[in-house]
Amino acid sequence: MPSSACSSSALSMPSLPGAEFLSLKANVVSNVTGHVPVGAYLNHGDATLAGVNYCNITVSYTHPGQGDRLTVLAWLPIDTWNGRLQAIGGDGWQAGLNYAASLSMRGAVGEGYATLTTDGGLGTSQSPADWGLLSPGNVNLYDLQNLASTSLNDMSIIGKSLVEKFYGRPPRYAYFNGCSQGGRQGLMLAQRYPAAFDGIAAAAPAINWTKFFMTGLWPSYLMRKADSVPPPCEFNAIRAAAIRACDMNDGVPDGIISGRCDFDPHCVVGRVINCTDFGQLRRISAQAADIMEETWRGPTKIDGSPIWYGLGKDVLVTGSMTDVAIVPIECQRNGSCTAGNFTLADDWIKYFVLKDADADTSALSHQEFDDVAHMSHQQYDSIIGTSDPDLSAFRRLGGKMITYHGTSDSLIPVDGSIEYYKRVLALDPDASDFYRLFLSPGLRHCFGGAGAYPHSTFESLRRWTEDGTVPETLAAASVGSERTIHRNLCAFPRVPVYNGQGDWTSAEAFHCA
């Protein structure tokens, strides 16, 4: 494709029913060279770019009558197109079109994919404080709907239209690639827009959106209820004790909890630890044990019935105010500590459930906590819940989808993905013919931790979609650990089992059972 085809005058506006296009800008980006590290290119390994040339296209449009303005960014390889399209999802409160998405786009265009992402109409905003409320008590439902679903189908249609106009033919295969918010977007596409993409990589998905945030608020609520904020060192010591107690349940000393772990945090109450939060020795308190036990169990109503799932015993629950932790804690040298709320959950409750930017979620009583959980699901599940188990249309159209989820995910409880997959199987016992779930013990949210990151996810999806090669396992490896471990993650419900001999850092020392 000649570079002269990449200009605002040479390209015509894409087609999208129900939209009015506002602008299209295009320019050539030449000789791009660089490296995208593992973990930054979602669901892939690392990627190297060497002299890549692509057409950089920015399209803006609106849905007339809704007062919105959405932007889609597309990068189309000029002389290295592999005939495929790869759309990139978002994270947090962003639909895409941010720095993280740009790294995945760099990896994709370097491999010859036409690639694109959308801002969902939210621009560069990282918080609904900028857009969630039109006025006190009045939720911006159009923008929420764009984030939740509408912009995703728009992106698919616009991307395919741009590809066909630029190359003179449509993509042979179209893929969606995301984790976290992007994982939720992938499931939404399969559920609501089954024709949008042929293959979907939906990792650590933020599905059950209207429910799982309550897990993030639960530990902070427990601390306020007990009028006690133990320092992070106590929670970390309890976590470390749980890992030591259950590490060898799978037969290998890898510092990872695999499977069931019946550890009682109260067995370490009174144990002396070196507390780096204060630079002194300290005993583990009963309050810290109580909070960890309830965090592992998950939020419950006043009557004791469950609201949602808890977190794994090897999850990092606490951190500083600048860490990604569901309980950010700051401590003073005098021994006092204060706890904040999980920001994503706090924003959801304030702006959408309570509809009040000044609401203090830290002041919720248990009854109010229960009421908020109920209202969240009642009012928004049909908009952004992303928990519909009926994937029959996606299956009928030949779609394929892979989800992986780390069992040490502190932001999104892994049991939510398991519960959803079981509901899919309950409707369609043969769902594994087109949709597979893989669990990675010890892996944190999307990436990191002691567990193995499945860098082969997207390539396995591509082979399954194009060649019919069914992914029984996903090749995975830990990143950043002192000792790299390799695993072949098993399709749920099977799990990797140690053979009883051999190098436990090698994938060959395990089998699926």
SS (H, E, C) 406-433: ECCCCCCCHHHHHHHHHHHHHHCCCHHH
Q: Is the pLDDT of residue 269 over 70?
A: yes
Q: Is the pLDDT of residue 321 over 50?
A: no
Which position among 180, 220, 408, 440 bears the catalytic label?
180
Q: Is the pLDDT of residue 6 over 50?
A: yes
Domains of the chain: 3-209+384-512 (3.40.50.1820), 211-342 (no CATH)
Q: Is the pLDDT of residue 324 over 80?
A: no
Q: Among this protein's residues, is 409 annotated catalytic?
A: yes
For 203, residues 6+ apart whose C-beta sits below 8 A from its C-beta are 42, 43, 178, 179, 180, 182, 183, 403, 404, 405, 446, 457
State the pTM of this model.
Answer: 0.96
Using CA atoms, how far residue 114 sits from 10, 163, 175, 399, 454, in Å, is: 18, 7, 10, 19, 23
Which helix or strand (DSSP H or E) is residue 240 part of? Answer: helix 232-246
Which position among 290, 370, 409, 415 bears the catalytic label?
409
26 beta partners: 57
What mean pLDDT is predicted for residues 212-237?
A: 95
Q: How confident is the model at residue 326 (pLDDT cuts 50, 70, 90)?
A: confident
| Span 68-123, pLDDT tens digits | 999 999 999 999 999 999 999 999 999 999 999 999 999 999 999 999 999 999 99
Q: Are 407 and 314 in contact (CB under 8 A)?
A: yes
Q: How confident is the model at residue 267 (pLDDT cuts 50, 70, 90)?
A: very high
272 beta partners: 283
Which position among 44, 63, 445, 455 bears the catalytic label?
445
Task: Single out the residue of 408, 417, 437, 440 nearest to residue 507, CA to CA.
Answer: 440
Q: Is the pLDDT of residue 141 over 70?
A: yes
Phi, psi (deg, nearest 5) at residue 48: -120, 130
Task: Single out the residue of 494, 460, 492 nearest to residue 474, CA to CA.
Answer: 460
At residue 194, the 3 state secondary structure works out as coil
Q: Among this protein's residues, is 445 annotated catalytic?
A: yes
| Span 8-23, pLDDT tens digits | 999 999 989 999 999 9
What mean pLDDT is predicted for residues 29-58?
A: 96
pLDDT at 480: 75
Beta-carbon-side half-sphere exposure of residue 3 (alpha carbons within 13 Å): 9
What mean pLDDT is predicted for residues 203-215?
A: 98
Strand intervals (E) in 15-83: 20-36, 47-62, 70-77
What mean pLDDT is predicted for residues 147-163?
A: 98
Query: What is the rounded average pLDDT for all residues in the chain?
Result: 95
Q: Is the pLDDT of residue 301 over 50?
A: yes
Query: What is the 3-state secondary structure of 126-178?
Result: CCHHHCCEEECCEECHHHHHHHHHHHHHHHHHHHHHHHHHHHCCCCCEEEEEE
